[in-house]
Amino acid sequence: MGKSARNSILLGFLAVLMVSSFMGVAQELRSDQNGAAVSLFNGKEIIGWKGDKQWWKVEDGMLVGATISKRNPEDPSWLITEKAFENFEMTLWCKLEGDGNRNSGVYYRGKWNAEKQVLGYEFDLGGWAGEKELWWGELHDPYGRQLSVSDLDKSAIKQLYNKKGWNHVRIRVQGNHIQHWLNGIKTVDWYEEDASIQKSGFIGFQIHPESRYKVYLRDIYLRPL
């Protein structure tokens, strides 16, 4: 089945899918907390992460990255884990608030390049210029190969993401197989063909300097595979 056909089916039954997917999401998080998953954020303080604490804080039990300030970082600001991870399943909730250029991302298997930018895979959160550019759930490597992968088109993504509230993120990476889900719907099912790409690295979150907005993150769990 081609992408256009899959998108038509998704748009036709999205309301039903969203109800069932959120029920599955709730069950998944309960399973994570009682199973083998580990919490990457305790809701009280930033432990196990490295980054500029001027832009990353804890507010009301949430991890918050904010560019709403008199002075923004000149380049994107990242908060990264002190540990490296290879094969895992990761879940979290996120929302974005602010002006039309709201964009963040979950980076994984990451490493720094010479310009202090992150190379690696990204689960994109948000977009740019309002809804003219929507990248929710897409697989990117913006500072490396300019990779851009999605099984859904922009119209389907526009119907899928929650513009004003919380969105559920799920990432599964095992070997060269990478999968993304947004709000319980699979957005990426992709196999890495380049054997030279590193298979382990840090996990990171990103904010951009060009805009005024906040990214809120909570219930961040990772299950090693």
pLDDT digits over 116-142, tens only? 889 999 999 987 766 677 889 999 998
State mean pLDDT over 28-35.
Answer: 48
The answer for 212, left when phi > 0, alpha when psi is -120 to 50, beta otherwise, is: beta
Predicted model pTM: 0.84
* pLDDT score of 60 more than 60: yes
Q: Specify the pLDDT at position 32.
A: 46
H runs (alpha helix) in the chain: 3-12, 14-34, 154-160
CB 108 within 8 A of CB 203: yes
Q: How many helices (H) and strands (E) does the chain have?
A: 3, 16
Q: What does the alpha-carbon distance between residue 50 and residue 44 come to, in Å, rounded to a whole number? A: 16
pLDDT band at 29 (very low <50, low <70, confident <90, very high): very low
